[in-house]
Amino acid sequence: MAAILCPPSSAFTGDSSVSLQTHLFFPLLRLCQTPTELKQVHAYAVKTGIFHALPVSSRILTVYCNPDMGSLDYARSVFDQIPQPNSFAWNSLIKRLVDDHQSHSALLLFKQMLTASSAHPDNFNLPCVIKGCAKLGALSEGKQVHSLALKTGLGGDSFVLSSLVSFYSKCDDLELATEVFDRVCDKDLVTWNSLIDGYVRCGKIEVARMLFDEMPERDSFTWALMINGYSKRGEIETASEMFDRMPVKNVVAWNAMIHGYMKKGDIVSARRLFDSMPERNLVSWNSMITGFEKLGAFKEALEVYERLFGEGEVPNAVSLVSALSAVSGLALLERGREIHMYVKKHGFSLEGVLGICLIEMFSKCGEIESAFSIFRDIRRRKLGHWTAMIMGFGMHGMANRAIKLFMKMQEKGLRPHSIAFIGLLNGCSHAGMVNEGRHYFELMRSEYGIEPTVEHYGCLVDLLCRVGNLEAAKDVIDQMPMRPNMIIWMSLLSGCRKFANIEIGELAAKSVIELDPGATGSYVLLSNIYASVGLWDNVSKLRESMRRNGVRKEPGCSLVEYMGSIHEFVVGDTSHPQRDEIYAKMNEMKERLTCAGYVPDTSQVLLYVEEKDKEVELEYHSERLAIAFCLINMESIAPMRIIKNLRVCNDCHNVTKLLSSIYNCEIIVRDNSRFHHFRNGSCSCMDHW
């Protein structure tokens, strides 16, 4: 090739005519295989003056418009050097712009062609322009191009009509799409598929099925369209039937079935299908990771994410977002840090959803300062980043920091989303800032016109209950414009347990049971209220009611992440490989607690037994086992991070505060209510209830 690219200068100079030079040039251009070779040929064309021959310049431009041979900017610069581009040149650049997702620029170029050149629309550039309109969802502009096609006599061209069917379908104007479709004499597969795709996307699967049945022939794309349509509509049985009938199954159809099963919540079928796929693409992996995460199967989501690397696949932003959400669900900080390192190493942008998910992940893993560091490092923050950070401060009870950040967001001219107010109210609730909480609840409506949702009312009720304003909390519930949910009634019930209000507590418990007869939490909290005032007959009746209705108390469970593994503990657990060491440490903890003046709080033990037996019941709660494990295995300088499925009881809260002082360690507990940061014998939360 090098010899061909360096011909004697006489090949382009001397007495040879331009036509002879052109005749020699085209075979040379066809031999170009790399951008460097193309630029050498281009240079010779410029040097010898034949570049200005329109056939030569337009052919050079066409090769530059191949993405493998040059950048779009370079192709545009070559185009600008052509004095009077012909239709061939205009078409090449318009097509490249549309293919490079710069459809707006393609439309402007097409307008320039119509107004500032002698080139005319043809059946090559019109389909490209129509495709650009479809990508932009530019219905009005597309209709203008359609009118132009009719005026120029191209309205009956099969390529133009097929493009218009696709355009109107993607713009959800199915009436016009069908009208154009009926005018196509020789309908090819692309035309049929375009119309079916439109009906599927608009949820009109019955019409799509009629078209499918009428088709003279179908390809894999046709079958995949229908399977995807049925799957998205939740008709997984019909989708499965079509999948079984599909002659040659492509990866798109497999992915559609996996998505359908995940949407239905059928994890077993989705996994079985995924494992039996002959080939997978990244969409397949992401469907599994995202599906598991949405269904709360966080461990399974992370298992698939890690398996992805083992099979040589490279994750994209979608994979990382779903993996981070799964990490947040389990509060696995080390896993989250690994994903963060991968994001940094491979240069993923944090200015979109990925940055929001990282802020949420660190917040939910108890690393609020790391979350704030991520937030500060994002140069062009969007509303989602501000909202995620406000939510993070709120869940950690850092109301003042949440309010300060909210005020900065206002200064930036960003209009807060309703979720930001949930973060503010949540923070005020955990900090006991009643006046501030009420202020922001009213500000949301008065200044921003945001009507409170059930979540906002829940935060306000929680705030009032935490400071003992139970009557005010009940008034808020009575005046709500929507039906209170379980969370709101449980907040009221929790407040009644703390302040021993039997009357309102019984009302709240009854309301919870009406919404969900199997809600164990309501029975437990009401039992706590009865037990705290010594009404043991009521406790017994409630426990009998639980047995009669088949309601079982969910056992306490605590998780600890250590050395890449998750260690799980339940009350009285003896299954851990280190159980002997753990129980030896528990005895040591007991002795040191006694020396520190610890007195057990047995008010929440739901057993009418001797006080000594109640104390034994408390000793083996799951978080204490988790703390013993951490004391054995972890360095004292590293914070212990424990995730509990239930609320931490009063006694364990007091014990954990003492242990943080006795062992000079930091303990972070995330229960199903909030974060508790224990250090030097104190806890960051305002109180515990």
Query: Per residue in 324-337, pLDDT tens?
Result: 999 999 889 999 99
Question: What is the pLDDT, as a whole number, of residue 649?
Answer: 80
pLDDT digits (tens, 9 = 90+) for 115-143: 989 899 999 999 999 999 999 999 999 99
Question: What is the pLDDT, as a whole number, of residue 617?
Answer: 64
CA within 13 Å, CB half, 58:
13
How does the average pLDDT of the chain come out, rounded? 88
Contacts 24+ apart (CB under 8 A), 76-79: 78/42
Instruction: List beta partners, residue 643.
Output: 559, 670
Burial of 679 (0-12, 13-18, 19+ CB in 10 A): middle
Instruction: Give the torsion sign (CA, 253, 257, 262, 264).
Output: positive
In degrees to the nearest 10, what's the CA dihedral of 290, 291, 295, 300? -80
In this structure, what are the phi and psi dihedrals at residue 493, rounded to the nearest 5 degrees? -65, -40
Cβ atoms of residues 382 and 347 within 8 Å: no
Question: What is the pLDDT, as a whole number, of residue 21?
Answer: 59
How many other β-carbons are positioned within 10 Å of the β-carbon of residue 448? 14
Question: What is the pLDDT, as a whole number, of residue 20?
Answer: 46
Instruction: List beta partners, residue 561.
Output: 566
Tokens of 45: 């064309």
Claim: this prediction has a pTM higher than 0.75: yes
Low-confidence stretches of the chain (pLDDT beneath 70) = 1-23, 553, 602-617, 636-637, 684-689
DSSP structure class, residue 566: E
Question: What is the pLDDT, as a whole number, of residue 543?
Answer: 77
Closest CA to 70 of 44, 111, 104, 41: 41
Question: What is the pLDDT, as a whole number, of residue 610?
Answer: 44
Q: What is residue 642's three-state secondary structure?
A: strand
Distance CA 312, CA 13 (A): 54
562's enclosing H/E stretch is: strand 557-562
Question: What is the pLDDT, as a whole number, of residue 45?
Answer: 85
Question: What is the pLDDT, as a whole number, of residue 607?
Answer: 46
